Amino acid sequence: MFLNQFLLFAAVLFCIGVYGVLTRKNGVLVLMSIELILNAVNINLVAFGAFNGTVNGQVFALFVIAVAAAEVGVGLAIVLLIYRNRRSIDVSEANLLQG
Amino acid sequence: MHLLAAAAAPTFEVSHWTFDWVGLIPAIMAASFLITLFFGKRMGKHVHVVGVAAVSASFVLALITAGAWINATNSHEEDHSDDAAAITEFAGGETIDGVDEIAFVEAGEEGKEVEARPQAVVNSWCWFDSSDAPNSEVDCSDRAAEKPISIGTLVDGQSVLLLVVVTFISLLVHVFSTDYVGGDRRYTHYFAFLSLFTSSMLFFVLSASTLQMLVGWELVGVCSFALIGHWWEDKPNSDAALKAFLTNRVGDVGLLIGVTVLFFAAGNSFDIRTINHAAVVGDIGSGTLTVAALCLMAAVMSKSGQFVLHTWLPDAMAGPTPVSALIHAATMVVAGVYMIGRLYPVFWEGLAIPGSSINAMALVGGITVVGGGLLAFVQDDIKKVLAYSTVSQLGYMVLALGVGAWTAGMFHLFTHAIFKACLFLGAGALSHACHHSFDMKKEMGGLRKLMPKTFATFMVATGALIGIFPLAGFWSKDEILVGTSGNGDYKIPLAMALIGAALTAAYMTRVIMLTFFGEYRGHDTPHDPGPRMMIPLQILAVLAIVVGFLNIPKSFPVIGESIGLTLEHWIEPGGGDVFPVIDHGKASFAMAIIATLIGAFAIFLTYSYYAKLFAKNPRATEVTGGLRDNNKFARGFHTLLVEKYYLDHFYQGVIADGTKGWLARGTYWVNQNIIDNVINYAGKGAVVSGGFIYRFIDQGAIDGTVNGAGQTALGSGSVLRRIQSGRIRQYATLMFGAATVLAAVFIVAV
């Protein structure tokens, strides 16, 4: 069992996700990047689960997928509302929370 | 005690599916209560359907149970007639005809019958796991063991009798109520509580443990409270409800203590049969038994309206009349009598007055018979007369139990339930026709011609109450008199019972004369009620004629030999180790004739008094210038009765106000001298220390801290607000950056 490969792959995926979240202006792409981060976590969970010979990791991964689906639902709704108000989904323009 | 020496009646086991499922009956009524309560509003004026259906089903089930029980009592003899005959010969009695093998040893003290009796059928379930209790090795998983805290049903003759009586009267009262309280503003509430009451009463009646009895006892008390105060908008009604509840609480405390004492005395058991067994075989010390019996007797006196705690019962007539019939005449008030019958060994052994053959219960009962009967004379409210009559009749039952005539007491309970329910419902019918008034002097009179059907039923029930041959009350009262004259040294209670019989005859004649004779004193024209009220009355009147024959003496010519003592055969418990052997007096014609003559004389006196009165003026209600106005002693006695022996004044004025007075003064003194001083010094101390704290701590330390904190927050805020750019990507960058730093720290540190 080559745990390292999976962990490295997950780390790469995580970094790509973080990069996407930080640099992309398009709200939808930000959401997609978040999905990448979550899937990197899923890979870690499944890999460790398989490594330890239990199904716990897979169960956790299933829960994460379910939660991610809900989170995307909320996220897309927010993006849609931003679009309606501003005719754009550029997240860098949404700074109403400024202190 | 001579009871212990008596030969134990042999017992045999019986079984039938209804004995195991009898718990369903209270469950049905409880379900009816919940349905009525939660869905009643939607059903509107048809809400009574639920209650009537449930109580009909209960009644049918009760009848099936009773049939099965009767079969069971008879079944044994067919199988073992040889054995029974052998026992009979052994006892030296005479066998009667082979119809049933009841054998009597005819003479005196030693008279014991040795007929085999079915054993009580107990089904119990674990209520609390009491395995942690000290000295107890029982837990819920051990089904076979005797469980100290269990809930269950106990089916024997006594509970089956009450099962039938309660469901039957309740059914008739339900039907009667649909007309009587029709259109009431709390119609739903009314039927809900009727159901709850029936359920609670059945729960109480079927109790297999004293703890369960306590629960049922309190539940019927609550229902009684709610139904007396049904029309609580009027102050007297809610006062009456409170009075009933509080008076009963006095007894309830006794019940609680008694049950607790018996629990420990009988070796950690609430089980009724275990307690009875312990009391019969002498496992419980006589002192303990007396304490327990006295406590329980207080409960009986409050619930069953025995003298001096009877005062709530006449006031309870503030409730709707069908409620009075069901709860305050036929069923709930006999709960105390029922409990004496249930825990008979405890009462019998515990209340026996040492050094004599007299039992204290007989004295309590005797005093109640006379005291209650006298009070009935000065009431103008027809329901109050009946209420005092109920008090007096309950006295008869306690008297019967006190002299050892258990069966006579239960028999009187049964017949009384029938004819008193008839009288109360009759009073309801009268009031329904006479502008909802119960005042005999102002609103009634001459109703014989206006309401002939009601008159007929009322007359029959009155005859039964007075004890006119051959109506129901004649047989049961005669049996009590016979028991009183035959057992022990009960000359005074016997005299009281005979005086009570005369009083009953006189005050009931007074009611009849004032209500049905003379001339109508109200306005409009009253008429007989509709069928929903009339039919229950007629059913009860017919039963008031016939139920007495269930237990007529064997020695009665022609019919007595074939059906004599049937009820006794059905309900009497057996088993010398769980129940004392019941004494039976020898039926005597002399006693019956004496009682009848006394009653007839009282009726004659009262009748001639009113006949003379009505001859002069048909609208008159009392003689002016009679004995009361001319004789100081008679006037004083009359005032004493009108003031109800000043018992209410005593409770209110002496006990309540007396306690209130010194309690209030004492509390005031404590308040002024102790609490006020403490508060004053505390106040002065607080002022001094407050000044110090203000100057040094508050102004110096706290204000400084607060101001400093404000300044700090302002400064740091102006710095930190720059991070709060509102740009999400910047937040994300900070978050990931921080996470990275934390991860780095984690890796380095661990």
When pLDDT is cut at 50, 70 and 90, the band that residue B581 belongs to is low
* Interface of chain B toward chain A, CB-CB under 8 angstroms: 721, 723-729, 732-733, 736
Per cent of chain B over pLDDT 90 is 20
Q: Is the pLDDT of residue B51 over 70?
A: yes
Q: Which residues contact B132 (CB under 8 A, 6 or more apart)?
A: none
Interface contact flag, A98 B726, Cβ < 8 Å: yes
The pLDDT assigned to A28 comes to 92
Q: What is the pLDDT of residues B220-267, one digit of tens each?
A: 999 999 999 888 888 888 888 888 888 888 889 999 999 999 888 887
For residue B660, what are the contacts with CB-CB under 8 A and spacing of at least 6?
none
The pLDDT score that the predictor gives to residue B457 is: 92
Whether the pLDDT of residue B350 is over 50: the answer is: yes
B338 vs B107: CA distance, rounded Å? 29
Look at residue B446 and tell me if it is in a domain: no
Give the pLDDT confidence score for residue B105 in this predicted structure: 34
Domain containing B729: what range? 647-699+725-749
Question: In terms of Cα–Cα distance, which of B147, B164, B144, B127 is closest to B22?
Answer: B164
> How many inter-chain contacts (A to B, CB under 8 Å) are there?
32
Beta carbons of A99 and B721 less than 8 Å apart: yes
Contacts of A30 in chain B (CB under 8 A): 728
**Span B551-569, mean pLDDT?**
72
Question: pTM of the prediction?
Answer: 0.72
Most A-contacting residue of B718, B722, B723, B729 (CB-CB within 10 A), to test interface: B729
What are residue B686's phi and psi, to 5 degrees?
-65, -40
- Contact yes or no for A99 and B724 at CB 8 A: yes
Question: Is residue B492 situated within a structural domain?
Answer: no
Pairing of strands B150-155, B121-126: antiparallel
Band of pLDDT at residue B390, cut at 50, 70 and 90: very high
Across B589-595, average pLDDT: 83
Pairwise CB contact (< 8 Å): B736 & A96: no
Q: Is the pLDDT of residue B544 over 80?
A: yes
Q: Which residue is closest to B730 within chain A, CA to CA?
A: A22
CB contacts of A23 in chain B (<8 Å) are 729
Q: Scanning every residue of chain A, which has its alpha carbon at the shortest distance from the alpha carbon of B733?
A: A22
Domain membership of residue B665 (yes or no) is: yes
The domains of chain A, with CATH numbers, are 3-91 (1.10.287.3510)
Measure B722 CA to nearest chain A CA, in Å: 7
Q: Is the confidence at residue B658, as pLDDT, over 90?
A: no
Count of domains forming chain B: 1
Rounded Cα distance, B588 and B530, in Å: 44
Residue B654 lies in a domain: yes
Q: Is some CB atom of chain B closer than 8 A to the CB atom of A22?
A: yes
The arithmetic mean of pLDDT across residues B374-378, rounded, is 86
- When pLDDT is averaged across residues B89-112 and rounded to a whole number, the result is 38
Q: Please give the torsion angle defined by the CA atoms of residues B86, B91, B95 and B96, in that order, rounded to the nearest 10 degrees.
A: -140
Lowest mean pLDDT among B106-110, B126-130, B277-281: B106-110
Does residue B674 belong to any structural domain of this protein? yes
For B73, residues 6+ apart whose C-beta sits below 8 A from its C-beta are B14, B117, B118, B157, B569, B570
pLDDT at B486 over 90: no
Question: Residue B618: is the preceding peptide bond cis (ω within 30°)?
Answer: no
Domain assignment present for residue B739? The answer is yes
Query: What's chain B's average pLDDT?
Result: 81
A21 in reach of chain B (CB within 8 A) = yes
The pLDDT assigned to A33 comes to 93
The secondary structure of B216-232 as a DSSP string is HHHHHHHHHHHHHGGGT
Task: Give the whole-angstrom CA distance, residue A30 versus residue A24.
Answer: 6
Flag whether B265 is in a domain.
no
Share of chain A above pLDDT 70, in %: 96
pLDDT tier at B165 (50, 70, 90 boundaries)?
A: very high
For B729, the closest of A22, A97, A98 (CB atoms) is A22
Binary contact (A92, B727; C-beta < 8 A): yes
Q: Is residue B415 part of a domain?
A: no
Per-residue pLDDT, B527:
81
Compute CA B4 distance to the chain's CA centroid, rounded to the nearest angstrom. 30
Highest mean pLDDT among A60-69, B100-109, B354-363, B379-388: A60-69
